[in-house]
């Protein structure tokens, strides 16, 4: 019995290390050749590199395909098509990311997040002034919008999944319709219904416009999260004598607590970069304004837009730095949502 060998399962789908190393080496070589072509030709930037990379890959596959069998040649062609589609889809995003990173880091200094533009003009040197007023203004409006929208979005999800009343179709239809509302329409709605009745632009008006755009994301995400709760938990709670409201409050909502937090974070990430509604409802300012219901207030999207409108060298650098800070904030929100979404295994 000791001489009996136990058969080991095979994994024919798993690539060998030699094949993986060969593919990686080929990718690096083609990438370096593409970089060299970009340096010495008229191609420029990440987009040019992606185009050259694709062309060299096509030539390499054609040359290599002459030595392969019919089956392997077909696999190579399909792999080339898939890789080309991935490169074409990824290159614009990589180009935007690279442009914002390389141009925005020029003005990324400590004073950018510790000073405002109260005593600084946009054309001053980058070591003067900053965007603290815009950062605080955006945080204030997003905070107000979250306080208003998060309970409404969660209650909408609860109504659609737990209550299932006679207005379920109407609520779902309204939520889905609001998802397609252009941001400028939300700004016009708040401008005509709230700002026209008050003293003009304010942080609260901007928060209302952001809340309109934020509500569909929170409501739909909350609905999908609540659908993940097993019906056995609801049935067990009802069998023990708990009423429906107590089951929802004490069993269902705590079970998907992390998912509901994720819904709120995704809603914030959805609206933190909106510019059009804030142009009509919040206005702009060169210093932080503490009154949320009266007076215009600055925000990061409006700060970037205003600096680009000026168009001078230092103003443009400030705009790129503001775009970089805004992009990093969105990345941080999505990263937090991803972590919270996968933390609770219940």
* Token pair in block for residue 13: 């789908």
Q: What radius of gyration do the chain's Cα atoms show?
A: 27
User: CA 141 to CA 144: how far, in whole Å?
Assistant: 5
113 pLDDT higher than 60: yes
The 10s digit of each residue's pLDDT in 278-333 is 998 998 888 888 888 888 999 999 999 999 988 888 899 999 999 999 988 888 88
Cα separation values, 158 from 6, 95, 231, 254, Å: 54, 41, 14, 13
Among candidate residues 129, 46, 23, 147, the one with its CA nearest the CA of residue 94:
46
Q: Which of 6-20, 92-106, 267-281, 321-335 has the lowest mean pLDDT?
A: 6-20
Contacts of 40 (CB under 8 A, 6+ apart): none
**What are φ and ψ of residue 272, in 5° steps?**
-65, -20
Q: Residue 234: what pLDDT?
A: 87
Grade residue 345 by pLDDT with cuts at 50, 70 and 90: low
- Of the two residues 78 and 267, the one the predictor is more confident about is 267
Give the best-scoring range by mean pLDDT among 64-68, 198-202, 209-213, 334-338: 209-213
Could you state, in order of their start, the residue ranges of all structural domains in the chain?
17-107, 132-341
The 10s digit of each residue's pLDDT in 206-245 is 999 999 999 999 999 999 999 988 888 888 888 888 888 8
The 10s digit of each residue's pLDDT in 114-141 is 888 888 888 888 888 889 999 999 999 9
Q: Count other C-beta atoms under 10 Å from residue 110's C-beta.
A: 9
Q: Residue 58: what pLDDT?
A: 79
Contacts of 2 (CB under 8 A, 6+ apart): none
Strand segments, DSSP code E, in 128-238 are: none
**Whole-number average pLDDT of the chain:** 84
Overall average pLDDT of the 100-110 stretch: 88
Q: Which CATH superfamily is domain 132-341 in?
A: MetI-like (1.10.3720.10)
User: CA 21 to CA 25: how far, in whole Å?
Assistant: 6
* Token pair in block for residue 164: 């299932």
346 pLDDT higher than 90: no
Q: Residue 344: what pLDDT?
A: 52
Grade residue 3 by pLDDT with cuts at 50, 70 and 90: low
């Amino acid at each position: 019995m000791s001489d009996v060998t136990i058969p080991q399962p095979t994994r024919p789908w798993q690539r060998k290390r030699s094949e993986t190393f060969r593919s990686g080496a080929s990718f690096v070589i083609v990438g370096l050749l593409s970089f060299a072509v970009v340096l010495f030709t008229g191609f420029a930037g990440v987009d040019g590199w992606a185009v050259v990379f694709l062309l060299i890959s096509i030539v390499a596959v054609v040359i290599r395909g002459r030595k392969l069998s019919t089956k392997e040649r077909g696999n190579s062609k399909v792999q080339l098509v898939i890789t080309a589609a991935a490169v074409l889809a990824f290159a614009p995003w990589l180009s935007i990311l690279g442009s914002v990173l390389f141009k925005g880091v020029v003005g990324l200094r400590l004073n950018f997040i510790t000073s405002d533009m109260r005593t600084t003009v946009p054309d001053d040197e980058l070591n003067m002034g900053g965007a603290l007023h815009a950062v605080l203004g955006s945080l204030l409006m997003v905070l107000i919008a979250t306080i208003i929208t998060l309970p409404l979005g969660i209650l909408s999800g609860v109504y659609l999944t737990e209550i299932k009343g006679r207005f379920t179709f109407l609520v779902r239809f309204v939520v889905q319709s609001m998802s397609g509302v252009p941001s400028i329409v939300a700004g016009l709605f708040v401008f005509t219904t709230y700002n026209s009745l008050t003293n003009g632009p304010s942080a609260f008006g901007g928060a209302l416009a952001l809340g309109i755009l934020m509500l569909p994301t929170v409501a739909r995400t909350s609905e999908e999260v609540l659908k993940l709760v097993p019906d056995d938990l609801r049935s067990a709670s009802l069998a023990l004598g708990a009423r429906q409201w107590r089951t929802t409050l004490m069993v269902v909502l705590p079970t998907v607590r992390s998912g509901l937090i994720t819904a709120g974070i995704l809603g914030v990430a959805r609206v933190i970069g909106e510019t059009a509604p804030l142009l009509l409802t919040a206005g702009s300012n060169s210093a932080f304004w503490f009154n949320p219901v009266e007076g215009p207030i600055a925000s990061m999207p409006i700060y970037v837009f205003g600096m680009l409108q000026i168009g001078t060298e230092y103003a443009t650098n400030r705009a790129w730095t503001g775009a970089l800070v805004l992009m990093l904030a969105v990345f941080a929100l999505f990263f937090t949502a991803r972590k919270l979404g996968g933390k609770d295994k219940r």
